[in-house]
Structure formats: C-alpha cells, structure tokens
Amino acid sequence: MTEIQITDRLIHLRNDRISYIMGIMEPGILTHLYFGKRLESFRPESILRRYGLKDEELRLKKGILNNVPLEYPSWGLGDMREGSLIARAADGGASCDLRFRDAEAADGKYRLDGLPSAYGENAKTLRVRLYDEKLRMRVTLLYAVFEDCDVITRSAVIENQGSEAIELERAASLCLELPDDRYDLITLSGAWARERAVYRRRICPGEMSVSSLRGASSHITSPFAALARPETSESQGEVYGAALVYSGSFYMGAQVDSNGAVRLQGGLNDRHFSWKLDAGETFTVPEGVLVYSDCGLDGMSAQFHTLCANHIVRGKWAKAPRPILLNNWEATYFAFDEEKLLSIAKKAAETGIELFVLDDGWFGHRDDDHSSLGDWFVYEKKLPDGIRHLSDRIHEMGLKFGLWFEPEMISPDSDLFRKHPDWAMQFQGREHVEGRNQLILDLSNPEVCEHVYQMMAGHLREDGIDYIKWDMNRNFTNPGSMRLPPDRMKEFPHRYMLGLYSILSRLTEAFPEVLFESCSGGGGRFDLGMLSFMPQTWCSDNTDAISRCRIQWGTSYVFPPFSMGAHVSAVPNHQTGRITPINTRINVAMSGCFGFELDLNRLTEEEIAQVRAAVVRIKEVREILLYGEFHRLSSPYEGHDTAWITVSKDHKRAILMLTRDLAQPNANAPMIRLRGLDAQKTYRVLETGEVYRGDELMNSGITPELPKGDAASVSLTLAAEE
C-alpha cells in the first residue's frame, strides 16, 4: 500500500518496502532525512545530530546550511556544495532562499506539461510548495510513490509570480542526500558500437559525474548512476539507482562533502543552459527517478524493469509480444530495389518471421549518406511503384511492414534545405558543422515540428506502415535557432527536446497501432524519455554476439529485455569482423526484441533450419523472454562467460543463456547459480531431460555443456514439473 503522511515536522512517503522522508525545519527549510527500507516511525533527531544539528536547537542559523541535508538545495545562502537550483533575479543576484509553504498528497501520479513522465493508477502524488520571497518564485516539488516498485519519481515546477524576469541557470531533477560516503559510483559509459559498459569506482571527497552536452542522452554515457555499498554484488547488498526520464543533454553526479556526506544529483545539463522565466511563466523540470534496493544490483534492475513495464512504456505494444522482424540494413545497405527487397522478405516469410523493415535509402535520391534527409518521398529509381505498392506486396506475404525515418534531420543536399535553409539548427553567421554529412532540424521552431508531424502522419496514413524505426544519427553542433532571440539562445537544447516530445506524443496518440522503435546510431538515445513514447530501442549498431553480451548486460542495469532491439546478423560481423556460430547469435539476440539483419537467402540450408527452429521456439517463449523477470548471472566484465536467465512471472518456466567468448582449454565447466526460481519446485531442463529442484539450481548451480570452439553458447529451457 502507498501512503503519504504529512505532519508539522515530517513528510513521509512509503509503500510496503520503502520509505522516503523529508523534514521541515525552522524557519521553513526542507531537509532530506531518509530514503531506504520502509520505516514504521521516524525520529529526525538522530540524523540531524549526525550533521551536527542539536535536537534542542532545530532552529536553523544561516551559515550552517553547508552541513544540512537538503531536499532541493539552492545556492548562495550558506550551502557551499553544488545545488539543484540557481535562479538569478533581475538585479543580477543569484542567491535563492526557498522556504516551505505547504504540502498536499493526492491519489494517482502527477503529469508533467510537455515532458514524458511515469504514469500509473497505483501511485500517490505529493506536492510540496516552497517560496522565495525576494524572487516571488514558487517551486512546487513533485513526488510519486508506487505500490508495485521501489521507486520515487521527482520533478519540480518553477513559477515566476513576480513582475520581473528570473533567469534559471540550473534546475535539477533529483537530489539525494546520504549521510555517509561508503559507496561505489556505478555508471554506464561507452561509445558508438560499445554502448553502456559498466564502470564502478569508489567515491571520495569532491565530485564524480557523467554528463552529455550532445543534445542526446548519448552513446557516451547514460542518464543513470547508482551508489552501491562496496560489498554490494549482483545478488546482495544495498544500492541506490537514479535515472532521468529525459533524452537530451544531462548531468548526473555524486559529491562527497568535507564531512563525508554524499549528494547525488541529476537533471538537465546546466552548461550552455539557462531559461528566462518571464513574469507569470512556469518551467517544468524533467522527471528523475530514484530506486532503492537491498537485494544487490539485480534487485535494483528489477525495480527499474518494473518501472519501465508498468509506468514508462505505454500503449498497445507495452505488454504485447513483439513481432520477429527482419531489417534489410546490413543485408543491402543502400543498394536495393523492389525485387531485391521482396526476395529477402519472401525468405523471411517462409521462415516464420513476422515483420519486414525497410531501412535507410528509400527516399529522395539517397544512394549513400550524403543526401536527401528531409525529402521523405519515394526514390523512384529504386522503388518505381512507390512505398504503398511495396507494403502491399509485403502484406500479401503475410508480413507486417516497417519503414525507417530520420525525421529530425536535414541534408544540405535536399529540397527541404534548399527551400528552408533557416530550418536547420544553427548560430547565425557560423558555418554549419556537418555530422554524417547532415544537419539537424530546428525543433525549437513550432513550424518545423508541425512540418515533421504532418510528414510522418501522412506516411502513416497512406503507406500501410505497421512499424517505424525512428533514427537520429548525429549530435548537436551550433545548437541554436534563427528564431530565438539572443537572450533565449541558451534555452535551445531543452526547447529542441520539448519540440521532439511534442511530435512524438502527437504521433503516438494519433497512431496507437504502430510499433515505434527508437534508434540513434544504435543505442545513442536509450533512455526513459524515449521509452515513454517508443517501447523499444535499437540497442547498438554493433550486432556481434560477443560484443552484445557486454552491451546488453550493461543496458539491463536499467532497461528490461522488452526494450532492447537485438538482431542476428551475418558473419564475419560487419562491425568487428568476428565469426560466431549462428546459434550463439540467436541465443544472445533472443534476450531482447528479436530480429534478423541479414539476407536469409545467403544462409546454408543447415543455418536456415536453425533459424526456423529459433523462430518457432521464440514465438513459444517470447512472453517469458520479453516480460519475465530478468537476472544477470555471470558477468562478461569479470571473465569469459556471460549468463543470464529470464523467469516467467509464475516461476514455472525459465530460459537460461550462457555464452563463452573464448574457448578455455583444460578448464572446469562453468557452474552457474541460477536466480529467481521457486526453491520448492522441481524443474526439468527440456533440452537435456535433467531434473533439479529449484533450491539446488539456485544454491549449488548448474553446469550447462558448451559446444567446442570460441563464441560458444547454449540456451536451456527450464519447465516446472506439475
């Protein structure tokens, strides 16, 4: 059950497992006192004493704020740490003095204007209103607590109730104060083709952070951070996780102060950011989420996965079996015509595949990546009868039809750019900087957003499209607009995101049947913001099964299997040159939204037989693979083996995946302790006929037999005996 208790001194949010507690201190300072396992009652004295605040002297004096755990810290009045809010008055002064006004609880989950946020009925919302007298600025802190996951979501709405403009120079989404610093900071960082690798290091005095200034959450690092006790492992120990429901430039970092207390903060990246809040205007801060688990990193991920499943991903596809797809990108790149596509699709249909996706190169005069983004009309040289003709042929084969777009982009060589050069993102008088030979549209301009919406809606109405791959292949340069006045140019990166979100929310509402997959040069914009509109994200342009073990392992820290696009591609792999057996490629891709990215006509009969068998099996078990409980077992970051298991919600079926990157001669067989099973149940391994009790599988383990050779893999199905 969720509850919010508000008394004179304390505000307590909780569900059956977690508590989040704030204190109201004289003269109206909102403190953060506790986040962790559920508490029945709480006395603030002990925690305040730890910070040197005597219980008989709760009245706060200026100058000691520096040692006070604060709920939404601002700058300039005695707190010398990095704050969450910087608001500059018209006279230039940037100190901020937020005092508690009132708080109220309500049923349900708050919504945010213009921004994605978690949703759900089984939630309660808390609104805490703070006020700065001098600025005449009201800050409403928003919180939600859910019944089914150990997550607190946060946001804030900042309102200028005065008559002069206020300049917001920082407005963080979340802030968590912890009384000691015995934590490791875990982040997910990488690059194109090696996204979301796991990094873990001990925090120490000073600041450790990750951030993006790219206008996208980025390949380089994810809007996520966890603080885990040094002894916390996958299966045991305390950990706090934080993530943003946001897809643009961000900041996420932990600061250890001189007394060893920690402040974890995240939100919009405040470099090259400010927001002019005119009299009467409001600014809504992107949502942040905080997770607590005392069941290790696997426990933290379980909370994030439940959040994604029940409160982030929405619409028809949120809980539906995702179609097995074949995408033509790695099969043909730009070199295709209708005949070629139909021959690939025909083979796909024969093999039981359900969706054919036409990737880049079908529009304008696009034969390579130098032209045509923005000219979203069919390239008649390749498809003389048009997209509708192709999609009809595909549908006649019994397949669904999907199409690739990169709607946020504009090629300098495009009719659109020739007509509207001012629609490209730019700083006036600066030369364009191209990325992948293309520019980005100015989505801070509502006219451009309207154009993109109408263009997409037109295709969705006319072309028989069941699935859209929404790509975004480069990051911001000269992040500005011809339309914004100079004193608002720093608002551009966030205004771009608001424009993008407005298009996505209109499209997904108008076309609820369509399955959207988000993509950004692979997994360059894999975040809770995009997942709020599109239920799956292309995990990485790297389709090599061994690389994917690491990428999907790291991705699973926050994101569940049903959110990760994962495909079987040709060998030698186009990104790494590695040759892996087809069953390894299938086993690894099976732990996500499964598909193929190759020309099946080029496979041997034997390989096709394996593909057919995999398609049959995946259709049988995909409910479990996508929506079951996912547990990481053996880490590719610690050895040669990657193992994970997905267990059905009723614990009656499970799929175990083990992949070894390099053969280990004369080595003991890998012994893997499983997780998530029912200790009392007896399970049969369908592939081997062996029978084990759940407690043995979880406490002693199982030693699956791997085939010989490098990149060997096995996938086992466990079924509980009646």
User: Cα separation of 669 and 641, whole Å?
Assistant: 11
Q: Which of 120, 522, 529, 561 binds ligand GLA (CB under 6 A)?
A: 522
Q: Distance (Å, rounded) from C-alpha 338 to C-alpha 342?
A: 6
**Using CB under 6 A, which residues numbered 4 to 23 contact ligand GLA?**
none
Q: Are 22 and 10 in contact (CB under 8 A)?
A: yes
Q: Does 541 help bind ligand GLA (rule: CB under 6 A)?
A: yes
Q: Footprint of ligand GLA on residues 446-505 (CB under 6 A)?
A: 471, 473
Closest approach of Cβ 327 to ligand GLA, in Å?
7
Annotated catalytic, 422? Answer: no
Residue 487: active-site member? no
What is the phi/psi pair of residue 502, to 5°? -70, -40
**For the chain, how big is the Rg over CA atoms in Å?**
26
What backbone torsions phi and psi does residue 595 show, to the nearest 5 degrees?
-165, -175
Q: Which is nearer to ligand GLA, 174 or 519 (CB)?
A: 519
How many Cα atoms sit within 13 Å of 132 on the Cβ side? 26
Q: Does 97 bind ligand GLA (CB under 6 A)?
A: no
**Residue appearing with tokens 């607009």:** 481
404 contributes a contact to ligand GLA by CB under 6 A: yes
Distance CA 327, CA 467 (A): 11
CB atoms within 10 A of CB 17: 15
Binding status of residue 538 toward ligand GLA by CB under 6 A: yes
Contacting residue, 35, 75, 273, 329, with ligand GLA by CB under 6 A = 329
Residue 533 makes contact with ligand GLA by CB under 6 A: no
The correct pick among 150, 181, 257, 359 for binding ligand GLA (CB under 6 A) is 359
With CB under 6 A as the contact rule, the residue among 69, 248, 286, 521 that binds ligand GLA is 521
Q: Please spell the DSSP secondary structure of 64-87, one letter per residue.
A: -GGGS-BSS-BSSSS--S--SEEE
User: How would you list the strands of the sheet with 10-14, edge to edge?
Assistant: 3-6, 10-14, 18-25, 29-37
> Which one among 519, 531, 588, 677 touches ligand GLA, defined by CB under 6 A?
519
| Per CB under 6 A, 595 contacts ligand GLA | no
- Using rule CB under 6 A, residue 516 touches ligand GLA: no
Confirm or reject binding of residue 438 to ligand GLA (CB under 6 A): no
Residues 6 or more apart whose CB falls under 8 angstroms from that of 637 comprise 197, 198, 550, 553
CB 594 → ligand GLA: shortest distance, Å?
16
Of residues 112 and 465, the one with the C-beta less far from ligand GLA: 465
The least distance separating ligand GLA from the CB of residue 469, rounded to whole angstroms, comes to 6
Distance CA 671, CA 491 (A): 54
Sole window of 126-134, 305-313, 519-527, 633-641 interacting with ligand GLA (rule: CB under 6 A): 519-527
CB of 558 to ligand GLA, least distance (A): 20
Per-residue DSSP letters for 281-331? -EEEPPEEEEEEESBHHHHHHHHHHHHIIIIIS-STTSSSPPPPEEE-HHH
Q: Does 408 bind ligand GLA (CB under 6 A)?
A: no
376 scored as a contact of ligand GLA (CB under 6 A): no
SS3 422: helix
Site size with ligand GLA, rule: CB under 6 A:
11
Nearer to ligand GLA, 49 or 436 (CB): 436
Single out the catalytic residue among 270, 298, 471, 641: 471
79, 375, 541, 661: the active-site residue: 541
The number of CA neighbours under 13 Å toward the Cβ of 178 is 25
| Residue tagged 């603030």 (tokens) | 44
Write out the catalytic residue numbers. 471, 541
* Interface residues toward ligand GLA, by CB under 6 A: 329, 359-360, 404, 471, 473, 519, 521-522, 538, 541
